[in-house]
């Protein structure tokens, strides 16, 4: 009946539901007092990039910017009037020049993006101000920052103060200098500085003192940030790195959040297992094939720079999908990792992907050796002779290590295409016929099918293609005569629990019909 639009609507419904839940939680939160001004020390971007093996210098900071947008949205919904973001400190200029330039370019890019948003009228409830020693920034960045400030000057709503080239020590000295100059200029008043004179000249005089300072990255210090203004502030540290900061972290102190998020994760796992239990009342596919499409588009969509950035994100999806299939109890899973047509890509890109595959296989070998992969058997199918030596050897090693395992059989399909498979199978079966003197020199279908790369698994019941594309792209067209072909608009790294559940529900609806077809054959 329907094509992939239905999943798009399903995930819209899901997002809508999550938004309603979130607003409800905020309403409950707002019964008590809400901080007038929250300051964020956005620490941990570089550690995040290292943790997730993101290659580029600004990769962690890009992920951090996504966090910024979420945090500002939540603060707006909770109706916090002032938010300060510690973006770049004076001390950070001492980093590698290349890294500093990268961060500055990223800031410029995001400011220009925000200016466009503001001009199109999407930022009516946000007023952005930049404070700090703006003369330390390059001309373009300074001009862009000033432009954004002008464009949002009239806006009412959340005031966001972005601290760049800022440090408390510099601020205090600057304030003293400024107030001295004013005193000299102003002949009448006595030549004595008061606290109020100095505070008037501080960068942060435009906002009240922060009620709450949240530092991510698990560090317990203020790092030369607003030490003057935070005498009465609650200083809260969370172990989460800045790009990992989420809704629940805004709620409580460190220990409680740690336990709270553990509870939350445990709750989600129980919910998930329960959903799977319900799903398993009906028939479950014996073999699910995944065409993992959309990695490159994902990288482009999120502006991830490295050639393999999208594929790395894709690998994370692979681990989740295998985990879910194991929990549901699907016996066979096939993953279309790399096709023969993909060798036609740029040599640099192909090499990048091969290196990534090697890295992940070696990681999996380590897991297998430490005994963490008891329930998984990994097989590589396809023309392995087209792979480089190291990769081929690693693949064979992983196959040997997991050979005895019982549980989910994950077939990773590399250097494969249906047309190549059919031709190779014919060749192999012909050669076998010639060698085997006794049997008549006529090929049967079983002879050819025995020699196919995919002879080790039964035909797939369900083929799931991510990326919103309607074709099989030379993948298992021979074996999928009775398969339900399901496409989802989500890109492969975005594929999640609900997409899988939806596909299986669809399979269950059509199961009787497909069984009938099989019997007719």
Partner 1 sequence: MDSNEPMLLLSSRIGQIGDLGLDLLWRFLHIVVSLFHIVSGIFEAIQSYAISLGLIQKYSSVDIEKLRCLAVVLDIEVARDVAKVVELLQWLKTIGVKQVGLFDSQGLLKKSKDMILEMVPGSTLLQETGEKDISPDRKEGIAIEFISSSDNKEAVVKAANILLKRHLKTSHPEKDEGNNVFTESHLNEALRVVGENVHVPDLMLVYGPVRSHLGFPAWRLRYTEIVHMGSLKYMRYGSLLKAIHKFTGVRQNYGV
SS3 379: strand
**12: contact with partner 1 by CB under 8 A:** no
Q: Kindly report the CA angle at 57 between 218 and 53, in degrees rounded to 5?
A: 65
Nearer to partner 1, 172 or 426 (CB): 426
Residue 7 or 378 having the CB closest to partner 1: 7
Q: Binding residue for partner 1 (CB under 8 A) from 407, 430, 459, 497?
A: 430
Strand ranges of the sheet holding 158-166, from the earlier edge strand across to the other edge: 126-131, 158-166, 82-89, 37-41, 212-215, 234-237
Q: Which is nearer to partner 1, 31 or 278 (CB)?
A: 278
- Contacts of residue 512, defined as CB under 8 A and 6 or more positions apart, other chains included, come to none
Residue 285 CA to residue 218 CA, distance in Å, equals 44
- Contact segment (CB under 8 A) with partner 1 among 32-40, 192-200, 382-390, 435-443 equals 435-443
Q: Write out the binding residues for partner 1, residues 192-221 only, by CB under 8 A.
A: none
Asked if 334 contacts 413 with a C-beta cutoff of 8 angstroms, the reply is yes
Is residue 471 near partner 1 by the rule CB under 8 A? yes
> Contact with partner 1 (CB under 8 A): which of 341, 359, 362, 459?
341
Sheet strands (E) in 298-402: 332-339, 376-381
Cβ closest to partner 1, residue 201 vs residue 504: 504
C-beta atoms surrounding 510 within 10 Å = 14
Least CB distance to partner 1 at residue 438 (A): 14
Per DSSP, the residues of 242-282 read GGG--GGGGTS-HHHHHHHHHHHHHHHHHHHHHHHHHHTTS
Q: Indicate the SS3 state at residue 345.
A: coil
Closer Cβ to partner 1, 215 or 486, answer by number: 486
Would you give the binding string for partner 1 spanning residues 253-282, x where CB under 8 A is met? ------------------------xxx-xx
Residues 6 or more apart from 476 whose CB is under 8 A from it? 289, 334, 418, 454, 460, 463
Is 521 part of the annotated catalytic residue set?
A: no
- The residue among 490, 467, 487 whose CA lies nearest residue 11 is 490
* Binds partner 1 by CB under 8 A, chosen from 25, 100, 193, 443: 443
The torsion defined by the Cα of 54, 56, 60 and 64, in degrees rounded to 10, comes to -120
Distance in angstroms (rounded) separating the CA atoms of residues 216 and 65: 14
* Cβ-based nearer residue to partner 1, 29 or 270: 270
- In angstroms, the Cα distances linking 64 to 170, 192, 296, 374, 448 are 25, 44, 21, 36, 53
The reply on whether position 426 binds partner 1 by CB under 8 A is: yes
Nearer to partner 1, 373 or 463 (CB): 463
Q: Is 472 in the site for partner 1 (CB under 8 A)?
A: yes
Token code pair at residue 214: 């949240």
Residue 450 C-beta: closest distance to partner 1, Å: 12
With CB under 8 A as the contact rule, the residue among 6, 116, 150, 200 that binds partner 1 is: 6
Q: Which is nearer to partner 1, 6 or 116 (CB)?
A: 6
Among 431, 456, 458, 515, binds partner 1 (CB under 8 A): 431
Question: Is residue 419 part of the contact set for partner 1 (CB under 8 A)?
Answer: yes
Contact between 440 and partner 1 by CB under 8 A: the answer reads no
CA-to-CA dists, residue 118 to 125, 128, 151, angstroms: 10, 10, 7
Tokens 């002949």 map to which residue? 187
Tokens for 100, please give them: 């500093």
| Site track 473-502 with partner 1 (rule: CB under 8 A), x = hit | xx--xx-xxxxxxx----------------
User: Out of 427, 450, 456, 458, which residue is the one contacting partner 1 (CB under 8 A)?
Assistant: 427
Please, what is the minimum distance in Å from the beta carbon of residue 374 to partner 1? 28
Residue with tokens 């000299």: 184
Candidate list 293, 366, 375, 436, residue with the active-site label? 293
Q: How far is the CB of 1 from partner 1 (least distance, A)?
A: 5
Number of residues binding to partner 1, judged by CB under 8 A: 62
d(CA 38, CA 82): 6
Q: How far is the CB of 518 from partner 1 (least distance, A)?
A: 11
Minimum Å distance from CB 321 to partner 1? Answer: 21
Determine, following the binding rule CB under 8 A, whether residue 1 of this chain makes contact with partner 1. Answer: yes
Both tokens of 190, joined, read 């006595």
Q: What is the DSSP letter of 106?
A: H
In Å, the largest CA–CA distance within the chain is 118
* 347 counts as binding partner 1 under rule CB under 8 A: no
- Gyration radius of the chain's alpha carbons: 29
CB 439, min distance to partner 1, A: 12
Site for partner 1 in 285-324 (CB under 8 A): none
- The continuous run of DSSP H or E covering 25 comes out as helix 5-29
Q: Which stretch binds partner 1 (CB under 8 A): 103-111, 120-128, 368-376, 466-474?
A: 466-474
Cβ–Cβ < 8 Å for 395, 387: yes
Q: Which residues are catalytic?
A: 293
Footprint of partner 1 (CB under 8 A)? 1-3, 5-6, 9-10, 277-279, 281-282, 339-342, 344-345, 417-420, 422-424, 426-427, 429-431, 433-435, 441-445, 448, 470-474, 477-478, 480-486, 505, 508-510, 513-514, 517, 520-521
């Amino acid at each position: 009946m329907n094509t992939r639009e239905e999943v798009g609507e399903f995930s819209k419904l899901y997002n809508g539901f999550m938004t309603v839940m979130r607003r409800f939680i905020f309403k409950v939160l707002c019964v008590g007092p809400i901080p007038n001004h929250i300051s964020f020390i956005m620490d941990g971007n570089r550690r995040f990039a290292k943790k997730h093996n993101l290659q580029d210098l600004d990769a962690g900071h890009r992920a951090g910017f996504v966090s910024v947008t979420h945090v500002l949205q939540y603060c707006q919904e909770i109706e916090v009037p002032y938010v300060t973001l510690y973006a770049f400190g004076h001390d950070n200029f001492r980093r590698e020049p290349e890294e500093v330039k990268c961060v500055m370019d990223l800031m410029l890019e995001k400011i220009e993006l925000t200016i466009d948003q503001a001009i199109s009228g999407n930022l009516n409830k946000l007023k952005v101000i930049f404070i700090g020693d703006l003369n330390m920034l390059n001309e373009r960045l300074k001009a862009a920052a000033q432009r954004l400030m002008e464009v949002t000057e009239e806006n009412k709503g959340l005031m966001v103060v972005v601290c760049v080239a800022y440090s408390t020590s510099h601020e205090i000295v600057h304030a003293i200098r400024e107030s001295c100059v004013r005193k000299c200029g102003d002949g009448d008043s006595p030549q004595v500085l008061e606290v109020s004179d100095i505070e008037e000249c501080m960068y942060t005089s435009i906002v009240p003192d922060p009620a709450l300072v949240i530092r991510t990255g698990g560090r317990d210090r203020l790092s030369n940030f607003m030490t003057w203004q935070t005498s009465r502030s609650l200083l809260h540290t969370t172990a989460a790195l800045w790009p990992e900061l989420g809704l629940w972290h805004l709620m409580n102190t460190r220990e409680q959040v740690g336990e709270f998020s553990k509870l939350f994760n445990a709750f989600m796992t129980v919910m998930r297992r329960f959903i799977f239990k319900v799903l398993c009342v009906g028939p479950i596919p014996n073999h699910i094939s995944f065409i993992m499409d959309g990695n490159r588009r994902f990288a482009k969509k999120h502006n991830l720079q490295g050639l393999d950035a999208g594929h790395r994100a894709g690998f994370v999806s692979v681990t989740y999908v295998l985990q879910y299939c194991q929990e549901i109890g699907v016996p066979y899973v096939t993953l279309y990792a790399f096709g023969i047509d993909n060798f036609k890509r740029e040599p640099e890109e192909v090499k990048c992907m091969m290196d990534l595959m090697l890295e992940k296989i070696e990681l999996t070998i380590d897991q297998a050796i430490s005994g963490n992969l008891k329930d998984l058997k990994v097989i590589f199918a396809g023309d392995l002779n087209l792979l480089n030596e190291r990769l081929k050897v690693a693949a064979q090693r992983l196959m040997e290590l997991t050979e005895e395992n019982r549980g989910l059989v994950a077939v990773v399909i590399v250097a494969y295409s249906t047309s190549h498979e059919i031709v190779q199978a014919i060749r192999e079966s012909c050669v076998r016929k010639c060698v085997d003197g006794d049997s008549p020199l006529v090929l049967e279908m079983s002879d050819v099918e025995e020699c196919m790369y995919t002879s080790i698994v039964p035909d797939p019941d369900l083929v799931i293609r991510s990326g919103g594309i309607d074709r099989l792209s030379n993948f298992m067209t021979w074996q999928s005569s009775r398969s339900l072909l399901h496409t989802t608009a989500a890109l492969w790294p975005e594929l999640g629990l609900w997409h899988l559940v939806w596909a299986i529900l669809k399979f269950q609806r059509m199961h009787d019909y497909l069984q009938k077809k099989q019997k007719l054959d």
